[in-house]
Amino acid sequence: MTVVVTGGVRGVGLGITTAFRAAGAHVITCARREPDGLPEGVGFERVDVRDADAVADFIGGIADLDVVVNNAGGTPYLPASEGDARRHAKVIELNLIAPLIVSRAANRVLQGRPGGGSIIMIGSVSGHRPSPGTAAYGAAKAGLDNLTASLAVEWAPRVRVNAVTVGMVRTEKSAMHYGDAAGVAAVARTVPLGRLAEPADVGHACVFLASPSAAYISGASLLLHGGGERPAFLDAAAQASTASPTRGQQPSTGDAIADTHTPDREDNA
């Protein structure tokens, strides 16, 4: 199996690269800058995934391609009211337009392969709920979900297209988002499984979606977020119950019972 992982040189991307390599795949990754090091046997090409011509040359030159993982992406913290419009547009370009560019190039190769192939998008829970401070990123990831479903229909039956929708991940940049070790631990406690994801968790999900075990899965979005996050209203209600002795009692006849159904919320991925 030959696999291309965009941005597969650090963080989540390196976790994906390492997982496919451990599964016996020939892995080629790309990024704008050369990495300090990669796992043994992993190939590297310097490619800007926003450059359609460069991507076409890179992907088109891999005749035995089987799988492409669109991992390259990211965003700075930038409230929507700040910065110029171009900065926000560049976030959308990297996180939505670039995966389309890479996927189009991959599809041209995979449609001609004897067994077809698989394309995997790395999405985010930021595309499933409000993403304050990273609105353009959240919008791009929401678009990536629809792109996944649409391409899965357009390119079937030769090419399967799926997404892994990722929650909070422990990487070398965790401190930038969550503070020191105590801050990271506090955030981890909000996840039902009690920890942040590791890059390897994302990698294992990608290996599954690329495998024969997922042969009938296409157009799907696999949530990889440890069960999400404990809804904030539950903690607020618990605190209120502690403060008021009448809280938590059964309502008497005639009391109104509020509808407490509230959408879950996730922290920025």
SS3 sequence of 65-101: CCEEEECCCCCCCCCCCCCCHHHHHHHHHHHHHHHHH
For residue 40, give the 3-state DSSP assignment: coil
Question: Do 223 and 254 touch, CB atoms closer than 8 A?
Answer: no
Q: Is 137 a catalytic residue?
A: yes
The predicted model scores a pTM of 0.86
For residue 133, give the 3-state DSSP assignment: coil
Average the pLDDT over 25-36 and give the result: 96
Question: Do 62 and 5 touch, CB atoms closer than 8 A?
Answer: no
Task: Say if strands 43-46 and 2-6 run parallel, antiparallel, or are unpaired.
Answer: unpaired
For residue 140, give the 3-state DSSP assignment: helix
For residue 23, give the 3-state DSSP assignment: coil
* Greatest alpha-carbon span in the chain: 74
Q: What angle do CA 251, 253, 259 make, to 5 degrees?
A: 50
**Which residue reads 């929650």 in tokens?**
167
The CATH fold of domain 2-172+197-224:
Rossmann fold (3.40.50)
pLDDT digits (tens, 9 = 90+) for 36-93: 889 999 999 999 999 999 999 999 999 999 999 999 999 999 999 999 999 999 999 9
Q: How confident is the model at residue 246 (pLDDT cuts 50, 70, 90)?
A: low
CA dihedral 233, 239, 242, 245 (to 10 degrees): -50
Q: What is the DSSP string of 240-263?
A: HHHH-TTTTSPPPTT---------
* pLDDT exceeds 60 at position 109: yes
Q: Which residues lie closer than 8 Å to 34 by C-beta, 6 or more apart?
A: 44, 46
- Separation of alpha carbons 232 and 123, rounded Å: 23
User: Which candidate in 77, 137, 178, 216 is catalytic?
Assistant: 137
Residue 180 DSSP label: S
pLDDT digits (tens, 9 = 90+) for 130-186: 999 999 999 999 999 999 999 999 999 999 999 999 998 988 777 766 778 888 888
Q: How confident is the model at residue 240 (pLDDT cuts 50, 70, 90)?
A: confident
